[in-house]
Copies of this chain bind each other. A is one copy, B any other.
Amino acid sequence: MATIERKLLNVEVANEIREMIRVGTLEKGDKINEKELSMALGVSRTPIREALQRLSIEGLIKIIPHRGAFVSSPRLRDIREMFEVMSVLEGTCARMAAEKMSEAEFKKLESLHLELEKHYQNRDHENYLQVNHRYHTYIQELTGNRVLNDIINGIRLKILLYRSQQLYQPRRFDDSISEHRALLEAFKKRDPVQAENLMKTHLMNQCEALVSLYADDDDNE
């Protein structure tokens, strides 16, 4: 028998807003109007506001007193800082995963990699990103550390605010897949140190690609 999932509106609303941000309905800098949203979702402002409090702690939105809630628009510096932490954390995941990875788990990882290759051949950015996300998530999960997972997921969602700009430069696409190939080799050899280092540089390269696209943007910094 399944656990009865008791639903609270503020949790549902938070999920809803998070999803809007994830898929791009809400973009960085957008203002979130409480009344508007409450009518759209058919609930009162109370659960809306409670959800906004939650999201502000997650860092997805910023609440300016008496002005309202705005979708976060991290500055260049914030992006760099987030990636710096991400590279360390995902590097750690890679190391831990390489240390304890079973053969079945490697096969699963390999199949994800093959999906990546396919989308790369087809120059299908959208699906590449999607599978890439599943690939990284899978490695995280192999660590079995939920605290680690939660932190990484939280940061990733914030970085996702910039997904539109991400990876749409062909050069970065090429580099990304070759980094992934090297990474798979390291996992195949169960080499924790190499896996960690490759993952770290993979992340830092992604950061640089994002930042370079973004540097000449106006309202950030």
Contacts and interface: CB of A to CB of B under 8 A. Distances in A.
A82 B150 CA distance: 11
Contact of A148 (B58, B84, B148): B84
Interface string A131-172: 000000000000001111001000100000000000000000
Interface of A is mostly: helix
Contacts of A7: 65
A126 interface: no
A28 interface: no
A60 to B, nearest CB: 10
A78 B8 contact: no
A89 interface: yes
Interface stretch (A31-39, A48-56, A174-182): A48-56
A76 interface: no
B10 A66 contact: no
A92 interface: yes
A56 to B, nearest CB: 7
Given A57-B58, A58-B57, A85 B148 contact: yes
Given A8-B63, A50-B50, 16 more contacts: A6-B65, A7-B65, A53-B54, A57-B57, A78-B147, A81-B145, A81-B146, A82-B147, A84-B145, A84-B147, A84-B148, A85-B145, A85-B147, A85-B151, A147-B155, A151-B151
